[in-house]
Amino acid sequence: MELNGEKYKTIGSIFKFPGEIEGTPEPPPDLGKHTEEILRNLLSYSDTQIKEISSENHAAFARLKKKMKKVF
């Protein structure tokens, strides 16, 4: 599997079914790709609530990134 220009080895399914197409697996979605869709459609959050959560997440991510630089 290739993801963001890097190649990763994966394991195949041990289950084989007649007519199953074998091939290269698709990479998983990026972290957070479906967050807004889930908040809106499954949890019925308003646009305002989603914007608040998004801004909190961006601030928390920036703090985490700063701490990680100190660790490594």
Q: Tens-of-pLDDT digits for all 72 residues of the chain? A: 777 788 878 777 777 778 777 766 677 787 788 989 999 999 999 999 999 998 888 888 888 888 877 665
Place of tokens 């920036």: 62
Say if 7 falls within a structural domain.
Answer: no
Residue 33 is predicted with a pLDDT of: 86
Say if 40 falls within a structural domain.
Answer: yes
The residue type at 29: P
Say if 62 falls within a structural domain.
Answer: yes
Residue 60 is predicted with a pLDDT of: 85
Say if 2 falls within a structural domain.
Answer: no
The boundaries of the domain holding residue 49 are 34-72
Say if 41 falls within a structural domain.
Answer: yes
Say if 55 falls within a structural domain.
Answer: yes
Counting the structural domains of the chain, the total is 1
CA distance 48 to 32: 18
